[in-house]
Amino acid sequence: MFLSVPLSRSLRVSVAKVAGRNASSTKWIRRQLSDRFVVQAQAGHWRCRSAFKLQQLDEKLHFLTIGARVVDLGAAPGGWSLMALSRVAPAEAPPETHGVVVAVDLQRISPIPGVRILTHDVTLVPSVTRAILECLDSKPAHVVLSDMAPKTSGSPSNDHRLYMQLCTAALDVASAGVLATGGTFVCKLTTGAQDASFRRLLATRFRAVRYIKPEASRSESAEIYLCAQGFSQTPHPHNTPKSTSPHTQPTPNTLAARLRSTPKAPTPTAARASSCSGGGGRSTGGESHSRGGSGSSSGSSSSSSSSSSSSSSSSSSSSSSSSSS
């Protein structure tokens, strides 16, 4: 039986004035303490409020089925991995029917019983793909998730570009043999100059593509999710974007190339990786953190996403570190 968390809408919190605390800090604390998803994340040990975004996406699209293999890119601090595990390997289901969750992040993730953790830079596509498939025992995943987000700059257009680099890296990983035929791909982005092109790119490889903004995503946040289902290794002819030239027909690779800026060499820290760890018993226990600076605590667990965003343009073919406003 899947977990469904009832959430109260009537939370009101007063924050005492503290010397030295500015108005914006007080406002942030009040918002955090009054946020019903933050409260529920703390009570349920989901590590971050963004876990409920995944819960709501799955309630709409039903892609996290018992026994499924799931890859969570930019997984720190682990809220999405915990939620995915509760659905593909519920405690009441026979162990032989349990699915697998692989959590990938450049930042180290505290152990999650039942989740296989991989410390790696998502933007280093060839090496991270090999490492993920090792964790999956050489079997492709049914679902690839990306809740990654860059460190925001304050410029909506620049932030959008960085989001699209991360999405492109995530799609590169999924398309490089990690995602099984018929599988589901989910990534977070903001709307802007490049998201329509990226959606068209997804439409060439997936049966259905749609935008979804879950209720747990704050109304003031510009984030939105692209959910693509029915993956195909070969482009769908009826979905291939029409050429703007009578002599050229865009391919997934050429479309993805338009989303990239000038390639940059990976930094030494981006090259570090570790073997897959974890995968024992399962539990939803864990600390309450933020998956990118605005979850159930003020921690900034999205350092891998900011690291990835600066080097994601070195990816080789099409959409990816972690956040959840």
Would residue 188 show up in a list of annotated catalytic residues for this protein? yes
How far apart CA 265 and CA 262 sit, in angstroms, is 10
Contact of 301 with 62, CB cutoff 8 Å: no
Q: Which two tokens stand for residue 120?
A: 């790696």
**Reduced 3-state DSSP string for 3-34:** CCCCCCCCCCCCCCCCCCCCHHHHHHHHHHHH
Signed CA dihedral, 227, 229, 234, 237: sign only: negative
b vs e for 2-24, b when ≥16 Cβ sit within 10 Å of the residue's Cβ?
A: eeeeeeeeeeeeebeeeeeeeee
Residue 321's closest CA among 156, 147, 97, 91?
Answer: 147
Distances (CA, A) of 178 to 10, 139, 172, 217, 238: 43, 8, 9, 27, 24
Residue 73's closest CA among 316, 318, 304?
Answer: 304
Selecting among 17, 151, 188, 213, the annotated active-site residue is 188
Contact of 291 with 50, CB cutoff 8 Å: yes
What is the number of residues in the chain? 325
Residue 49's closest CA among 299, 303, 321?
Answer: 299
Catalytic sites, residue numbers: 188
